[in-house]
């Protein structure tokens, strides 16, 4: 998806080109249309670092650019399993991270961590961080479990697994080397963090911020602050709150049904779902516009990638999606499905039913290897099926 970086982009690129000459790279070429600099066979995309340094003082900005440029020297190092194993670190990213990346094995290696959040693995070199792709596994001759296990083992060796003991609000701001947002992935770490009296609640709004709060009476201002930080972040992760269950396992706070902050947690959960499904819808639509096919699902016939809507009732915030007559859908997995008909350009709601009940009655199954999950809904239910669905409707 194209992005307009404005007139300051060329000036920023000039700063990067200058730093490249400082380290002896005199043949770099700037491509303003793609907002990248080509150094030999290496493409340096400038979008993320441009956004990340936009508000920094000049000295800090120049330092970040120098580190960014120095990363090209890291590519000269060996890329074998014995050479990189100790450099591996786990990282968290939203489901749609890398959704526009090339296919054929270049997508990041991922596994589910939390709803809408995946665990990935980075190679932590002195001046750069690269993401392990599925194709890399073949080059290394190892399987995914070995890679994830090594990454967690390395991080545990750095920070331990007993947590960070302190009272009150704890805020960690990463400089790029600490991987603080990955610490809750380590078994026992979050359970051992805090004052030892209150259950810890963790927030990871972006890739550089981890916030731990004690489970006290009013966290509304903190939820609001995290939501704003998540929305404004260049590289967001999640607006949700995470805590531990009675076994010390990290869970989203909304999965604690009787928690006093559950309404706030549900709102954050809805915000994450809407954002991730929105990014996925845009990528799916762009793939059809550009390639007349979905990049990872070339045999999947085009259909309307349904949106996720925010709603709230007596049970609290929840998500919903529409299923309208005479429309073929790739349905997102929302909490509720609103069945409706259209006449003269106006939608008329028939009823609203829980997604799980609809999936059971209609027999919806997830599209393989599509994250976040979507389901094909090509045909309007028959009158008999529609009656069974309406029997599951939510009373209004």
Contact 330, 285 (CB under 8 A): no
Alpha-carbon distances, residue 290 vs 69, 196, 278 (angstroms): 32, 54, 18
In whole angstroms, give the CA distance from residue 354 to residue 389.
9
Cβ(265)–Cβ(237) below 8 Å: no
CA distance linking residue 40 with residue 381, whole number of Å: 57
Give pLDDT, residue 262.
93
What pLDDT score does 125 carry? Answer: 83
Q: What are phi and psi of 319, to 5 degrees?
A: -110, 155
The neighbour count for residue 120, using CB atoms within 10 Å, is 23
Q: Crossing angle for the helix pair 262-291 and 220-232, nearest 10 degrees?
A: 10
The model's pTM is 0.85
User: Angle between the 383-390 and 355-362 helix axes, to the nearest 10 degrees?
Assistant: 150
pLDDT at 42: 73
- H or E element that contains 48: helix 47-52
Q: Which residues of the chain have pLDDT under 70?
A: 1-7, 41, 71, 73-77, 100-106
Give the separation between CA 30 and CA 16, rounded to whole angstroms: 10
Give me the pLDDT at residue 2, please: 43
Nearest one of 184, 249, 178 to 211, comparing CA atoms:
184
Q: Is the dihedral of CA 322, 323, 329, 332 positive or negative?
A: positive
Q: What is the pLDDT of residue 105?
A: 52
pLDDT at 75: 58
One-character DSSP codes across 74-128:
HTTS--SHHHHGGGEEEEEEETTTTTTS-STT-SBP-EEEETTEEEEEEEE-SS-
d(CA 145, CA 265): 31
Tokens standing for residue 361: 């009655």
Cis peptide before 354 (omega within 30 of 0): no
DSSP single-letter state for residue 146: H
The residue with tokens 């991080």 is 155
pLDDT of residue 126: 79
- Reading the block at residue 355, the tokens are 């997604």
Residue 30, CA distances (Å) to 8, 38, 74, 94, 102 in order: 14, 6, 21, 30, 22
* Cα Rg of the chain (Å, integer): 23
pLDDT score recorded for residue 280 = 97
Neighbours of 121 (CB within 10 A): 25
Distance CA 201, CA 167 (A): 13
pLDDT of residue 1: 43
What are the b/e assignments for 128-145, b being 16+ CB within 10 Å?
bbbbbbeebbeebeeeee
Task: Compute φ and ψ for 45, nearest 5 degrees.
Answer: -80, 130
218: exposed, middle or buried (Cβ count in 10 Å: 0-12, 13-18, 19+) = exposed
């Amino acid at each position: 998806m194209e992005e307009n970086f404005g007139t300051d982009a060329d000036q920023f690129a000039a700063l990067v080109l200058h730093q490249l000459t400082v380290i002896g790279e005199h043949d770099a070429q700037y491509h303003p249309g793609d907002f990248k600099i080509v150094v030999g066979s290496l493409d340096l995309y400038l979008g993320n670092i441009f956004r990340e340094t936009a508000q920094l003082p000049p000295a800090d900005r120049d330092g970040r650019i120098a580190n960014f440029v120095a990363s090209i020297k890291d590519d000269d190092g060996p890329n074998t399993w014995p050479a990189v194993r100790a450099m591996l670190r786990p990282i968290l990213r939203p489901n749609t991270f890398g959704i526009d990346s090339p296919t054929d094995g270049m997508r990041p290696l991922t596994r589910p961590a939390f709803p809408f959040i995946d665990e990935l693995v980075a190679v932590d070199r002195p001046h750069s961080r690269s993401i392990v792709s599925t194709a890399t596994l073949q080059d290394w001759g190892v399987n995914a479990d070995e890679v994830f296990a090594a990454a967690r083992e390395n991080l545990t060796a750095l920070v331990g697994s007993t947590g960070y003991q302190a009272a009150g609000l704890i805020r960690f701001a990463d400089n790029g080397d600490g991987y603080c947002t990955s610490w809750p992935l380590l078994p026992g770490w979050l359970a051992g963090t805090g004052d030892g009296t209150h259950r810890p609640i963790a927030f990871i709004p972006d890739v550089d911020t981890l916030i731990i709060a004690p489970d006290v009476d009013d966290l509304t201002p903190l939820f609001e602050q995290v939501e704003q930080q998540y929305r404004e972040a260049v590289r967001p992760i999640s607006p949700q709150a995470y805590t531990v269950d009675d076994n010390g396992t990290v869970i989203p706070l909304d999965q604690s049904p009787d928690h006093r902050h559950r309404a706030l947690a549900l709102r954050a959960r809805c915000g994450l779902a809407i954002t991730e499904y929105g990014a996925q819808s845009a990528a799916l639509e762009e793939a059809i516009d550009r390639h007349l096919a979905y990049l990872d699902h070339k045999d999947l016939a085009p259909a309307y990638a349904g949106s996720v809507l925010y709603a709230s009732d007596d049970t609290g915030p929840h998500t919903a999606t529409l299923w309208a007559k005479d429309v073929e859908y790739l349905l997102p997995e929302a909490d509720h499905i609103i069945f409706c008909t259209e006449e003269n350009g106006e939608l008329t709601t028939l009823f609203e039913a829980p997604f799980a009940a609809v999936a059971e009655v209609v027999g919806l199954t997830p599209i393989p290897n599509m994250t976040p999950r979507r389901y094909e809904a090509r045909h309007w239910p028959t009158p008999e099926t529609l009656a069974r669905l309406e029997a599951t409707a939510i009373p209004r």
